[in-house]
A and B are shown apart, each in its own frame.
Chain A
C-alpha cells in the first residue's frame, strides 16, 4: 500500500463522492456521517506519513509515484508524478486533519442541500491534497484549478447575504492569477526543452536544475508570484479574502483559512522561489515590503471591524504576512518559522472561524456589539476562545509564539532586518485587536437580553475543538516533532536556492539533522 499511499489518500474522497451520490438526498444525518467517515479514513490513510522517520534523515521526495500520463512526442509530455517531502508533509497532514473537523462542524449549520455540500467538501479535499503532492507542474495546475470549483459553490450556494458577489470575486481573482501562471508554465517548459535540459514531463525537479537567463526568470517569477500572491493573499491583492471569508459558510471559511491560503505560500516555496532563484533577490525587498504592509494594514483594519468574522479574515492577511516574511528571510530560522506558522495559522485561524461559527449558530449575528458578557453564560467556550486567542496573538507556550518568533528572528538576521522591526509592531497590534474583541464579546455584564439564553458548547463542539487545542500546545511546547521532519527538506531547499545569486545566510551544517529545533541553529548575516 505504501507504494500507492499518496494516490489512495488523494482520490479516496473522490471515491466517497461516487458513493455519496447514491445516498438519498433527504437523509442528512447519513450523508454527514458518511462524509465524516470518508474524511476520517482519509486521515487514517495519511497517518503513516506523519510517523515515518524517513523525513528526519532525508530531505528528498518520498512515496514517489510516477506514470506517464500524456505523451505527444516532441509536442509535450505530462506525467502523473507524486511525492511528498518535509515541506509538503505537514501541509498534507493539516489538510487531512482539518477536513473531518470542518465536516463535524457542519452538523447543525448546514441543512440545505447537504449532499451537494458534502460532495463539494470532499472534492475540495482531493484538490488540496493533489496540489500539495504534485511534482509535475501540469498536474499541479490541474489540482490547483480544481480547488476553485468546489470553493466557488461552497460560498455561492451556502454563503451569506452577499454570497454571489463574494463567490464570483473569489473565482475571478484566483483564476486570473492562475491563467497567467499557465502561460508561464508552458513557457518555462518549452524553454527547458529548447535549451536541451533532459525533461521529464513538466517535472519540477528537472526545472530546478534549469539555468534560465535572468530576464526570463524575472518575468516567470512575476507570473508565478502574482498567482500565488493572490492566493496568499498579499496586500494589495487581498480584497477578495474578507468578502469570501465573511460570506462563506463556517466550513468553507475554515478550509479557506486553514488550507487554501497555504497554497499561495506553498507555491512560493515549492515553485516560484526554487525555480527562479536568480530573480528572487530582485523581488524579495518588494515582496517583503508588501508582507510588512500586509501585517500592519491587516492588523489595523482588523481592529476597526465590527463583524467578528471580518476581523478574523483581516487577521489572516496579517498572519500570512509573517509567513511570507519568514520565508523571504532565506535562512533556516525564517524558513522554519514561516513553515510552522503556516500550520499554526491553519490551526488557530481555523479554530477562530469555528468559534465565530458557534456564536453565529446561536445568535445568527456576528456583530461584536450584539454580544458582551458571554463568558458568564458559556464558561467552556470562554476558556477555549481564550486559548485560541492567545495562540493567535502568539503568546509563549502556544504555537503562534514559535512561528512568529522564528519568522521574525529569521528576518531580523537577514537582509530584511528593518522589515522585521516594523513587522514586530504587528504582534502588538494583534494583541490589541484580539484581546479587545475578546473583551467586548466575552467580558462584562450581559447587556443584550438575547444573550441570556446562550447555551454552552455541546459535546460535539468540544470534540471539534479538542484536537485543535492539542496542537496549539503541542507545537507551542514541543515543536521538534514537526521541525525534525521539516529540517532536512528545508535545508535542501535553501541550499538549492543558494546556488543562485541569492545572498543566503551562512548556515552551520547540521550534524545530526532533525534532532535540533532550528531555534538552536544560529544563522547570522
Chain B
C-alpha cells in the first residue's frame, strides 16, 4: 500500500505540465480581474495576458533539452512539445496584441476574451506534450471549447454567430469521431498510451488487417485532420474563418493548427510507426488533395478572409508533405513550417485587422485598391507577408517550403514535390491579385479610417522581423527544429 502511494507521488511531475499550469493560473486570475474591471476597459487585461505569455514562454524554454515526463507516462514535455508550445505562445501573443483595438472598434471589449486565449494555448500545450490519447483528448477539448466561444464572440453579429455554431457542431462531431477511435483502439490494444499502441503494432505486424484497429486509427485521424483543416475535412474553415473575429481567425490558423499537427505527428510517428507504408500513402493523397482544393478554390475568392482561409487549407497540405516524407528532415520541417506560417499568416491578418472598417465589409479584393499608396508601410508589410505565403525568397515562406520539399525529395517523393511546387505556382495567382489591387489599381478610398495603434503595429513588426529573419538567416531556428524533431 505504501509503495503504491509512493509510486503515484513519484509519478507526479509538475515540471512536465508547468508551462500550461502557469497559463491556467494566470487565466483564472485574469478572469477574476476582468470581472472586477470597469466594463469596456480591457486594455490592462490584454497587457497582463501578454505578461502571462512572456512568463510562460520563459518557463517553457527553460525545459529545452530537459525532457520531463510524468503522470504515469501520459505527459512528456520534450523538445518537440517545447517547440510547438512556443509556436502557440507566439501565436497567442500576436493575437492578443492585435485584439485590443479591434475589440473596441467592433464594440465588444469583454475581458473574458483574453483568458480564453490563454486556456486555448494551455490546451494546445497538452496536445503537443500528451503521450496518452486521453491527455491529447483533454487538450483538444480545452482548446476547442475555448475556440468555439471565441469564434462566436460577437454575439450580435450574425456571421460571428454562424461561425461559432458551425465550428461547434462540426467540431463536436469530429471530437466524437476521435473519441470513438480512441475507444476502438483501446478495445484492440488494451491501452490508450501511445507507446503501448506502438508496442502492440510491433508485436502484431498484421494489425493493418485488423478491421477494428484500422477503424479506430482512421477515426482518430479524422479528428486531427478536422482540426488541421485538411481536405476533405476542411468544409468548416471558410465560413468559420470569415465569420470569427479576425484576430481569432489568425490565431486559429496558426496556434491550434500547429497543436493538432503536433498531436497528429506524435500519434502517427511514435504510435503507428509500424504502419508507415500504409499511412504515407494515405497522407500522400491527403496532402495533394488538401493543397489542390485549397489553392484552386482560393483562386475565385473575393473576400480576403475567405481567401486566406482557403490559403491556410493549402498550407496545411504543404506541411503534410513533411509527414509523407516520414524522415528526420521532413518531420522537423513541419515544426519549422508551422512557426513560419504563424508569422506570415498572422502578420497578414494583423494588416487586415487594421484596414477593416467596423463590420469588416470592406475586406474584399476591391477594398484594398491603392492601399500601397495610401498606407505605404502597411502595404509593404502585407507585400512581404504575401511573398512569404507564396514561398518566394528572401522570405521565410521560401525557406520553410524548401525545408519541407527537401524532406520529401530526400525520401524519394519527387512527384509529390513537383505537385507541391505546381500548387505553389497556382497560389501565386491569388496572392498576386491582392498585390495587383494594392499597387496597380488607383486608390478609390483614402483609408482615413485606418488608425495605426501601437500593439497591432508591434504584432506586425514582430511578424515582419520573423519572416525576414527566418528567410535570410534561418540556420539557427532550423537547427532547433531539427533538435525538436523525432
A157-B439, A186-B402 given; 7 more Cβ-contact pairs under 8 Å: A72-B475, A72-B478, A113-B373, A142-B398, A175-B425, A176-B422, A176-B425
Question: Chain B: how many interface residues by the 8 Å CB criterion?
Answer: 34
Q: Quick one: which of A72, A138, A175 contacts B482, CB cutoff 8 A?
A: A72
In the complex, are the beta carbons of A186 and B328 less than 8 A apart? no
> Chain A contacts of B439 at CB under 8 A?
153, 156-157
A172-B390 Cα distance, complex, nearest whole Å: 11
Task: Check: B23 CB closer than 8 A to any chain A CB.
Answer: no
Can you list 22 A-B contacts with CB-CB less than 8 angstroms, sorted by A residue number?
A70-B473, A72-B479, A73-B482, A75-B332, A145-B392, A145-B393, A146-B393, A149-B392, A153-B439, A156-B439, A157-B440, A168-B436, A171-B432, A172-B425, A172-B429, A175-B425, A179-B422, A179-B424, A180-B418, A186-B410, A186-B417, A190-B410
Q: Which 6 residue pairs spanning A and B have beta carbons closest together?
A: A179-B421, A70-B475, A142-B393, A156-B440, A176-B425, A186-B409
> Chain B contacts of A176 at CB under 8 A?
422, 425
> Chain A contacts of B482 at CB under 8 A?
72-73, 75
Main secondary structure, interface of B, reads: helix
Q: Quick one: which of B387, B405, B475 contacts A149, CB cutoff 8 A?
A: B387
A186-B399 Cα distance, complex, nearest whole Å: 12
Q: Of residues 440 to 486 in B, which have CB atoms within 8 Å of A's CB atoms?
A: 440, 473-475, 478-479, 482
A428-B49 Cα distance, complex, nearest whole Å: 76
In the complex, are the beta carbons of B393 and A167 less than 8 A apart? no
Task: Check: B263 CB closer than 8 A to any chain A CB.
Answer: no
Q: Of residues 173 to 196 in A, which have CB atoms within 8 Å of B's CB atoms?
A: 175-176, 179-180, 182-183, 186-187, 190
A70-B474, A146-B394 as given contacts; A183 in contact with B328, CB under 8 Å: no
Task: Check: A148 CB closer than 8 A to any chain B CB.
Answer: yes
B146 to chain A, nearest CB (A): 36
Task: Check: B428 CB closer than 8 A to any chain A CB.
Answer: yes
Task: Check: A32 CB closer than 8 A to any chain B CB.
Answer: no
A72-B482, A113-B373, A172-B428 as given contacts; A182 in contact with B402, CB under 8 Å: yes
A430 to chain B, nearest CB (A): 35
In the complex, are the beta carbons of A156 and B436 less than 8 A apart? yes
> Chain A contacts of B425 at CB under 8 A?
172, 175-176, 179
> Chain B contacts of A164 at CB under 8 A?
436, 440
Q: Of residues 214 to 235 in B, which have CB atoms within 8 Å of A's CB atoms?
A: none
> Chain B contacts of A156 at CB under 8 A?
435-436, 439-440
> Chain A contacts of B143 at CB under 8 A?
none
> Chain B contacts of A76 at CB under 8 A?
329, 406
A169 to chain B, nearest CB (A): 10
How would residues 408 to 439 of chain B score, 1 for a CB under 8 Å from any chain A CB and 0 otherwise?
01100010011001101100110010011001
A69-B476 Cα distance, complex, nearest whole Å: 10
B423 to chain A, nearest CB (A): 9
A156-B436, A186-B402, A187-B414 as given contacts; A75 in contact with B329, CB under 8 Å: yes
Instruction: Please name the residue on chain A nearest to B328 by beta carbon.
Output: A75
> Chain A contacts of B435 at CB under 8 A?
156
A141-B392 Cα distance, complex, nearest whole Å: 10
How would residues 365 to 397 of chain B score, 1 for a CB under 8 Å from any chain A CB and 0 otherwise?
000000001000000000000010000111000
Q: Quick one: which of B394, B417, B440 contacts A167, CB cutoff 8 A?
A: B440
Task: Check: A345 CB closer than 8 A to any chain B CB.
Answer: no
Q: Of residues 137 to 160 in A, which have CB atoms within 8 Å of B's CB atoms?
A: 138, 141-142, 145-146, 148-149, 152-153, 156-157
In the complex, are the beta carbons of B440 and A183 less than 8 A apart? no
Instruction: Please name the residue on chain B nearest to A173 by beta carbon.
Output: B425
> Chain A contacts of B387 at CB under 8 A?
149
> Chain A contacts of B428 at CB under 8 A?
171-172, 175
Task: Check: A71 CB closer than 8 A to any chain B CB.
Answer: yes
> Chain B contacts of A167 at CB under 8 A?
436, 440
Task: Check: A163 CB closer than 8 A to any chain B CB.
Answer: yes
A76-B113 Cα distance, complex, nearest whole Å: 43
How would residues 183 to 225 of chain A score, 1 for a CB under 8 Å from any chain B CB and 0 otherwise?
1001100100000000000000000000000000000000000
Q: Of residues 65 to 93 in A, which have CB atoms within 8 Å of B's CB atoms?
A: 69-73, 75-76
How would residues 332 to 358 of chain B score, 1 for a CB under 8 Å from any chain A CB and 0 otherwise?
100000000000000000000000000
A75-B482 Cα distance, complex, nearest whole Å: 9
A113-B376 Cα distance, complex, nearest whole Å: 11
In the complex, are the beta carbons of A183 and B478 less than 8 A apart? no
In the complex, are the beta carbons of A186 and B475 less than 8 A apart? no
A156-B482 Cα distance, complex, nearest whole Å: 40
Between A72, A157, A164, A167, the greatest number of chain B beta carbons within 10 A of the residue's beta carbon is seen for A72
A70-B474, A72-B479, A172-B429 as given contacts; A183 in contact with B421, CB under 8 Å: yes
> Chain A contacts of B422 at CB under 8 A?
176, 179-180
> Chain B contacts of A179 at CB under 8 A?
421-422, 424-425
How would residues 179 to 203 of chain B score, 1 for a CB under 8 Å from any chain A CB and 0 otherwise?
0000000000000000000000000
B388 to chain A, nearest CB (A): 12
Q: Quick one: which of A73, A113, A183 contacts B409, CB cutoff 8 A?
A: A183
Between B387, B410, B482, the greatest number of chain A beta carbons within 10 A of the residue's beta carbon is seen for B410
A145-B402 Cα distance, complex, nearest whole Å: 13
A168-B432, A168-B436, A171-B432 as given contacts; A186 in contact with B406, CB under 8 Å: yes
A186-B417 Cα distance, complex, nearest whole Å: 10
A163-B475 Cα distance, complex, nearest whole Å: 39
A334-B360 Cα distance, complex, nearest whole Å: 62
In the complex, are the beta carbons of A145 and B474 less than 8 A apart? no
How would residues 9 to 22 of chain B score, 1 for a CB under 8 Å from any chain A CB and 0 otherwise?
00000000000000
A222 to chain B, nearest CB (A): 11
A148-B394 Cα distance, complex, nearest whole Å: 12
B208 to chain A, nearest CB (A): 29
Q: Quick one: which of B406, B414, B418, B436 contacts A75, CB cutoff 8 A?
A: B406
Q: Quick one: which of A142, A171, A186 contacts B405, CB cutoff 8 A?
A: A186
In the complex, are the beta carbons of B410 and A141 less than 8 A apart? no
B38 to chain A, nearest CB (A): 43
B126 to chain A, nearest CB (A): 29
Between A153, A168, A183, the greatest number of chain B beta carbons within 10 A of the residue's beta carbon is seen for A183
